[in-house]
């Protein structure tokens, strides 16, 4: 699978179904007792890596706990970013591809997260602020930003409020912005990534200060 279809495709070209409708169709096909990444990729088909990334991101935007999902989906999103940056087909380790997840819970989580896709879809427009969406150097920067957001998503702060939500918002705006070539959506993704970095820095700084104060009390 490559990202070529995403480069030319917009959400409503030629009367086609919207991004949300296409993702709803994929979610509805995730039947059976369990599902893995291969099942999801097969159903996304040749519609592109960014569509897959948008789908995998939505579970991080809602307060849901599905065993194994954050690790599997987070790693897959990171590898999608690396695939786009390198220009190579998506490669997934065997353990990641084969990891079985409860289909009903995955479906429920994805459907709840689709509200975010619908919101972004309503405000996104093709080919806005094209300077942030087109060009070889811009593509390099945007792909690196996508990878950074994926790394932030996988940071070990899952127990902290908004630690998944902020980078998840960034990734969703990146995915839809890159599909649409919408520079405004990509810019929102950059802002969300910067907000995530600031938030994490505050968490680390505050935690360090608290530990230092506790140590001083113990040793004082």
Amino acid 108: pLDDT:
86
Question: In this prediction, what percent of the chain has a pLDDT beyond 90?
Answer: 36
Judge whether 53 and 80 are in contact, CB under 8 Å. Answer: yes
Judge whether 132 and 180 are in contact, CB under 8 Å. Answer: no
The phi and psi torsions of 33 (rounded to 5 degrees) equal -80, -35
Most confident by average pLDDT, 10-14, 57-61, 155-159: 57-61
In the predicted structure, residue 30 carries a pLDDT above the cut 60? yes
Judge whether 201 and 145 are in contact, CB under 8 Å. Answer: no
21-41 b/e with 16+ CB inside 10 Å = b? Answer: ebbbebbeebeeeebbbebbb
Amino acid 20: pLDDT:
86
Short-list 133, 136, 168, CA closest to 153 = 168
Average model confidence (pLDDT) across the chain? 84
pLDDT tens for each residue of 117-155: 999 988 899 999 999 999 999 999 999 999 999 999 988
pTM: 0.84
Cα–Cα distance between 191 and 183 in angstroms, integer?
A: 12
Query: How far, in Å, are 17, 47, 52 from residue 10 at the CA level?
Result: 10, 11, 15
Residue 217 pLDDT level (bands cut at 50, 70, 90) = confident
Residue 190 pLDDT level (bands cut at 50, 70, 90) = very high
Amino acid 57: pLDDT:
93
In the predicted structure, residue 8 carries a pLDDT above the cut 50? no
Amino acid 48: pLDDT:
81
Mean pLDDT of the 18-33 span: 86
Q: Could you tell me the residue ranges of all domains in the chain?
A: 4-219
Amino acid 11: pLDDT:
43
- What sign does the CA torsion over 136, 141, 142, 146 have? positive
Judge whether 153 and 164 are in contact, CB under 8 Å. Answer: yes
In the predicted structure, residue 68 carries a pLDDT above the cut 70? no
Any idea which of 44-48, 76-80, 109-113 has the lowest mean pLDDT?
44-48
In the predicted structure, residue 4 carries a pLDDT above the cut 80? no
In the predicted structure, residue 10 carries a pLDDT above the cut 60? no
């Amino acid at each position: 699978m490559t990202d070529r279809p995403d480069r030319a495709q917009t959400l409503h070209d030629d009367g086609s179904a919207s991004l949300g409708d296409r993702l709803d169709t994929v979610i509805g096909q995730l039947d059976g007792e369990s599902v893995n990444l291969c099942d999801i990729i097969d159903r996304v088909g040749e519609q592109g890596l960014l569509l897959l990334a948008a789908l995998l991101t939505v579970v991080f935007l809602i307060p849901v706990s599905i065993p194994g999902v954050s690790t599997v989906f987070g790693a897959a999103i990171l590898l999608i970013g690396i695939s786009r940056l390198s220009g190579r087909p998506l490669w997934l380790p065997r353990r990641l591809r084969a990891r079985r997840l409860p289909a009903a819970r995955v479906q429920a989580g994805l459907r709840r997260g689709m509200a975010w896709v619908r919101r972004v879809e309503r405000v996104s427009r093709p080919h806005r602020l094209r300077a942030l969406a087109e060009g070889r150097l811009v593509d390099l920067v945007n792909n690196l930003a996508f990878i950074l957001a994926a790394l932030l998503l996988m940071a070990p702060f899952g127990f902290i409020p908004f630690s998944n939500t902020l980078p998840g918002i960034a990734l969703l705006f990146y995915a839809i912005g890159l599909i649409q070539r919408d520079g405004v959506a990509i810019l929102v993704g950059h802002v969300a990534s910067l907000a995530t970095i600031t938030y994490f820095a505050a968490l680390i700084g505050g935690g360090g200060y608290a530990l230092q104060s506790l140590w001083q009390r113990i040793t004082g």
